[in-house]
């Protein structure tokens, strides 16, 4: 009898221990969920209906991937699964959801290759078949050098044996997408070589003044169609040109931006507009930087409602680090900085230490910040100074920083509730949506399996909170977003997805 009582007593003690362990475990799991972005958000009844539908579809996708890892698309290159995204019910919900603003996108890589292919049917277009291929509009043969000869585009197309095949081959020059990306892009060197060649190719097509305003107007239309309500675009401000050879300075390009934005807002009053971040190359000397700073100051003075800030762009590993420009940049903090920094896999180099200088120089937001997870002191600074982090998941995947998006540091940023803003960088270059593809991949492939509608709403609100909009405009923006959000949840029908 005593032995039976002893066993019962031991089992009771174990049970109590298990209860304490399980309770402590439950508390830790719940604490982490509350700490993450959106963790303290409370959903109303209608939002819960949306969330239940969304999460059911998300769990189905992830559970299948967990049980069949060889078929988990998001562990592969984006080019291999990009078309399959559109069949996802999670994607379809995200596509219809208001997503706030895009705060990190480069102007010449917003629209996809078909748009540029159509431009090659315009009159007075010359082509130079060197690598990368170049285009130029002119009344006469362009006088710039060409390894071969400048040829009139319509004559080249007319001489093609098969115009359909000719256009299909030509289209490839306006996109990085290929059938075997792991072979074509074995390292960051090949990726960035092709990426930079893309910009060389499209430059002459859209810096032709009559094309520039229409291009950006059409780009804004794509954003609006993707349920984006505001954009901050980075631009090198290419010098626009005319058929007669006239070349304008960068302020004319900025004015063309303003004209296109004003026209778009008149046509679509629900769109909040766009601002410009002047972003010249970081691969320059101090003399050129001085000139760029003066250009930025002039634009800010002449068009304060258009100007948002200043950045330096280009592949960070090959460009000049910010530390080389600190004396000049300290004298130019009135320009408001939105620096690319930490877009690298390296650790303890001048490249990832761009993050240090971006913080110390008072950047309002940091572009990419991919290496930030390796710098705990800087994470603390980002939190204390409330510096927005512009994350571009698909860009980092396509441009050879991460192969499997489950390893993207965004999951760390989200778990710590850092001030993350999700953007798309150069979606046209890899034929992605203006924003929905990035939202989908971040939500399904990077964030926690348990991250839900609250995180998505938090990301959208962050994009407005950390924008360069004036305070009173932010209030309006958030009000307008909430109106669109309520329309979304009130009209939601799970059977439609």
Angle at 275 between CA 272 and CA 281, to 5 degrees: 155
Angstrom distance (rounded) from CA 224 to CA 102: 11
Q: Is the pLDDT of residue 15 over 80?
A: no
pLDDT at residue 2 in the model: 57
The residue-averaged pLDDT of 415-433 equals: 98
Q: Is the pLDDT of residue 7 over 70?
A: no
Angstrom distance (rounded) from CA 103 to CA 109: 14
Angstrom distance (rounded) from CA 414 to CA 437: 18
Mean pLDDT of the chain: 95
pLDDT at residue 25 in the model: 87
Antiparallel, parallel or unpaired: β 125-128 and 151-152:
antiparallel
Is 343 in the active site? yes
pLDDT at residue 239 in the model: 97
Catalytic: which of 343, 353, 390, 431?
Answer: 343
* Tens digit of each residue's pLDDT (9 = 90 or more) over 235-248: 999 999 999 999 99
pLDDT at residue 23 in the model: 86
Provide CB contacts within 8 A for 99, sequence distance 6+.
226, 227, 228, 435, 436, 439, 459, 460, 463
CATH 3.40.50.300 assigned to domain 84-112+228-488? The reply is no
| Number of other residues whose CB lies within 10 A of the CB of residue 344 | 21
Catalytic: which of 368, 390, 408, 431?
Answer: 368
pLDDT at residue 22 in the model: 84
The residue-averaged pLDDT of 267-286 equals: 97
Q: Is the pLDDT of residue 13 over 80?
A: no
pLDDT at residue 461 in the model: 98
pLDDT at residue 147 in the model: 87
The residue-averaged pLDDT of 401-423 equals: 97
Residues 60, 497 contacting (CB under 8 angstroms): no
Angstrom distance (rounded) from CA 203 to CA 327: 32
What angle separates helix 89-96 from helix 45-67, to the nearest 10 degrees?
A: 150
Residue 368 β-bridge partners: 341
Residue 276 β-bridge partners: 233, 307
Angstrom distance (rounded) from CA 143 to CA 129: 15
- How far lies 36's CA from each of 41, 350, 451, in Å? 10, 30, 9
pLDDT at residue 6 in the model: 63
More confident residue, 9 or 303: 303
Nearest to 468 by CA among 269, 237, 311: 311
pLDDT band at 148 (very low <50, low <70, confident <90, very high): confident
Q: What residue spans define the domains of the chain? A: 84-112+228-488, 116-174
The residue-averaged pLDDT of 354-361 equals: 98
């Amino acid at each position: 009898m005593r032995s039976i009582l002893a066993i019962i007593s031991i089992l009771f003690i174990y049970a109590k221990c298990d209860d304490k362990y399980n309770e402590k475990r439950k508390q830790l799991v719940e604490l982490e969920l509350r700490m993450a972005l959106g963790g303290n958000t409370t959903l109303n009844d209608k939002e819960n209906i949306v969330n239940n539908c969304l999460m059911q579809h998300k769990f189905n996708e992830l559970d299948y991937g967990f049980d069949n890892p060889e078929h988990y698309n998001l562990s592969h290159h984006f080019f291999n699964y990009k078309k399959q995204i559109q069949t996802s019910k999670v994607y379809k919900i995200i596509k219809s959801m208001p997503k706030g603003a895009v705060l990190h996108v480069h102007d010449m890589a917003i629209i996809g290759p078909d748009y540029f292919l159509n431009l090659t049917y315009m009159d007075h277009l010359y082509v130079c078949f060197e690598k990368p291929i170049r285009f130029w509009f002119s009344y006469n043969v362009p006088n710039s050098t060409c390894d071969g000869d400048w040829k009139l585009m319509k004559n080249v197309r007319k001489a093609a044996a098969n115009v359909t095949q000719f256009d299909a081959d030509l289209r490839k020059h306006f996109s990085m997408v290929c059938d075997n990306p792991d072979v074509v892009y074995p390292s960051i060197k090949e990726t960035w070589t092709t990426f930079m060649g893309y910009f060389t190719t499209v430059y002459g097509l859209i810096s032709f003044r009559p094309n520039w305003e229409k291009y950006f107007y059409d780009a804004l239309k794509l954003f609006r169609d993707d349920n984006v309500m505001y954009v901050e675009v980075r631009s090198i401000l290419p010098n626009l040109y005319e058929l007669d050879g006239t070349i304008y300075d960068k302020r004319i390009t900025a004015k063309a931006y303003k004209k296109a934005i004003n026209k778009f807002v008149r046509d679509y009053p629900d769109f909040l507009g766009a601002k410009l971040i002047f972003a010249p190359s970081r691969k320059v000397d101090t003399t050129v930087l001085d000139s760029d700073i003066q250009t930025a100051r002039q634009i800010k003075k002449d068009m304060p409602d258009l100007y948002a800030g200043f950045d330096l762009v280009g592949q960070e590993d090959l460009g000049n680090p910010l530390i080389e420009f600190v004396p000049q940049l300290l004298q130019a903090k009135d320009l408001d900085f939105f620096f690319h920094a930490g877009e690298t896999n390296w650790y303890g180099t001048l490249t990832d230490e761009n993050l240090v200088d971006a913080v110390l120089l008072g950047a309002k937001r940091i572009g990419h910040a991919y290496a930030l997870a390796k710098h705990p002191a800087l994470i603390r600074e980002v939190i204390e100074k409330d510096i927005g982090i512009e994350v571009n998941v698909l860009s980092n995947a396509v441009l050879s920083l991460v192969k499997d998006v489950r390893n993207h540091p965004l999951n760390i940023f989200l778990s710590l509730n850092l001030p993350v803003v999700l953007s798309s960088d150069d979606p046209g270059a890899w034929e992605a949506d203006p924003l929905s593809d990035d939202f989908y991949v971040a939500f399904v492939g990077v964030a926690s399996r348990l991250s839900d509608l609250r995180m998505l709403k938090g990301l959208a609100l962050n994009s407005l909170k950390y924008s360069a909009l004036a305070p009173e405009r932010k209030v309006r923006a958030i009000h307008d977003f909430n109106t669109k959000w309520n329309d979304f949840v009130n009209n939601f029908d799970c059977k439609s997805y």
